Amino acid sequence: QRQMCIRDSMKYCGNCSNPMEQIIPDDDNRLRDVCTSCGYIDYQNPKNIVGVIASFNEKILLCKRNTEPRKNYWTVPAGFMENNESLIDGAKREAFEEVGIKDYDASLFMIYSVPHISQVHFYFYTKLKNMNTNIGPEINKVGFFSFDEIPWDKIAFNSIAVLISKFFEIGSNERPGFQTSREPYT
């Protein structure tokens, strides 16, 4: 799960290679990177993060990050959505790449935005049929945790701690209610 993704201003035009500058285009109200030569505007918009909160026997799957930022902190499998894929396909792809889980149904569990890094996060919930995992290069450990076993001081991001808390608050025996939040998570 890469987390920092804010691209710096584009220096040169992707269209004609001339220098870009930051101006407010006509009929717009904020600074954009605009090509000084051909007028191409490089609009930047939020990125979608997709992930899976997976449980087995009332324990949830957490994985330990093998990359910065927050290397060796725990999170749930998640990452950037790719072009031409659906939310659920993206979430399952990330979960498979990072921890090797597959063959499950999942339902949307929680959406929240992280405005200061321009991201929107979508998490799906599933009950796994077994504890089979297979970790990818971005992860160095995986485990299943009950509420009391969660390493709260070693959770990678505040938003993930909230996500995990919501899961245990709702309980996995019921179909989870859809959650949304306006909290400014970090």
Binding site for Zn ion (CB under 5 A): 13, 15-16, 18, 35, 37-38, 40
Q: Kindly tell me which of 5 and 38 has the beta carbon lying closer to Zn ion.
A: 38
Q: Kindly tell me which of 18 and 107 has the beta carbon lying closer to Zn ion.
A: 18
CB 13, min distance to Zn ion, A = 3
Question: E strand or H helix at 145, and its extent?
Answer: strand 139-145
CB 21, min distance to Zn ion, A = 11
Q: Kindly tell me which of 9 and 140 has the beta carbon lying closer to Zn ion.
A: 9
Q: What is the DSSP string of 87-140?
A: HHHHHHHHHHHHH---S---EEEEEEEEGGGTEEEEEEEEE-SS------TTEE
Closest CA to 63 of 123, 151, 147: 151
CB 34, min distance to Zn ion, A = 9
